[in-house]
Amino acid sequence: DGGITQSPKYLFRKEGQNVTLSCEQNLNHDAMYWYRQDPGQGLRLIYYSQIVNDFQKGDIAEGYSVSREKKESFPLTVTSAQKNPTAFYLCASSITWGETALHFGNGTRLTVT
């Protein structure tokens, strides 16, 4: 079955440590996205990639970094510069950039103490 796999499901880190969240898709989609979800808020866009080897900042990119070296993979690094990193992180993909129907992974819940 095609889909988006995020790992791990739960992640715990100490403050000041960088942490990388994995996102892999086997849908052959060109575009990939990272969203952050906080209770009572809509999803907020962190970074997006229209195509392999390209990525752009979203609305809340500060304290995060990404890479897109392979079409299937779009890892997100939460750096120590992110002031409030504890959140639920969702990876998504779409067939092409501009296609509005996103397919989401099942998320990674990051807790930083």
Partner 1 sequence: GQQLNQSPQSMFIQEGEDVSMNCTSSSIFNTWLWYKQDPGEGPVLLIALYKAGELTSNGRLTAQFGITRKDSFLNISASIPSDVGIYFCAGHAGGTSYGKLTFGQGTILTVHP
Contact positions with partner 1 (CB under 8 A) in 53-112:
58-59, 90, 92, 97-98, 100-107, 109
Position among 22, 50, 67, 73 found at the interface with partner 1 (CB under 8 A) = 50
- Is residue 52 a contact point for partner 1 (CB under 8 A)? no
Compute the distance between CA of residue 88 and CA of residue 32 in angstroms, rounded to an integer: 17
Nearest to 71 by CA among 21, 104, 31: 31
Closest CA to 13 of 77, 69, 74: 77
Q: Which of positions 2-41 make contact with partner 1 (CB under 8 A)?
A: 4, 6, 31, 40-41
Sequence-distant (≥ 6) Cβ neighbours of residue 28 within 8 angstroms: 2, 71
Q: What residues make contact with partner 1 under the rule CB under 8 A?
A: 4, 6, 31, 40-45, 48, 50, 58-59, 90, 92, 97-98, 100-107, 109
